[in-house]
Amino acid sequence: MEYQSKIKKILEEVRLGVKLPEEALEELSELPYMKLGDDVKLDLHRSIRKGVGEIIYCAGKSEDQIRKIALSLSSDTGNAAFSRMSIDQADIVSEIIPEFEYFPIPGMGILKYHDPEPRGRVALLAAGSSDLPAAEEAARTAEFLGCTVERHYDVGVAGLHRLLDIMPRIREADSIVVAAGMDGALPSVVAGLVRTLVIALPTSVGYGTCFGGVSALLAMLNSCSTGIVVVNIDNGVGAGVAASLVAGKLNSPGA
């Protein structure tokens, strides 16, 4: 049950006299986060504060920590996502939660108990096939948060005609994510052709002087095109969340 619904249910039970105020207070005190020992605290209140559910970063977490997290999420505490997740970690969660789904590229797991509220349409572009891990992380994150994602891959500036062919579709999107490594030029080109905000996602793809994505990051930050915001190198989660918030705002009542 999503936490907004759980809070309403608790308040309604108090109103009807089914539950004492003291009992309700005890339950509500556990809602902001779930403490799983001294090393793990799940922020299950985030969906109320931000409209974005818990996204658990798995890299570096032990098998025991992953198991504790999975057990705590096995009784419908709301939707959750797992980023930078290995296959071994995914196997642990799958054994505990049958509803769990794992995507090897980008190494992301999705636990969906409820369909999220629709947020709008995101166009996701990747300059090259090598950018897919970061691009797919952004796509899966946006879908997790209720967006419809339209993917356009291998449309980099080395063959500009590939991009121009799809521009009519790109212009219809509520928000746009553009992933690129190497020289990081694609977001600048796209931003010069659309009215919508472009979220630039630099990737660590490229030869030696790309410095693990730093050259793409700097190129995007120094773009002369307006309407670009830039997330960190390979930060598909950040790009996906940003795109979904923009798309959701445009499609909210009264927008």
Q: Measure the CA–CA gap between 73 and 33, rounded to whole angstroms.
A: 12
- Residue ranges in the chain modelled with pLDDT below 70: 1-6, 25-52, 76-77, 250-255
pTM value is 0.79
Angle between helices 63-72 and 87-96 (to 10 degrees): 30
pLDDT digits (tens, 9 = 90+) for 154-179: 998 888 888 888 999 999 999 999 99
What per-residue confidence (pLDDT) applies to 250? 66
Domains and CATH numbers, the chain: 32-111 (no CATH), 120-250 (3.40.50.1970)
What per-residue confidence (pLDDT) applies to 66? 92
Q: Measure the CA–CA gap between 188 and 250, rounded to whole angstroms.
A: 23
Cβ atoms 90, 102 nearer than 8 A: yes
What per-residue confidence (pLDDT) applies to 43? 57
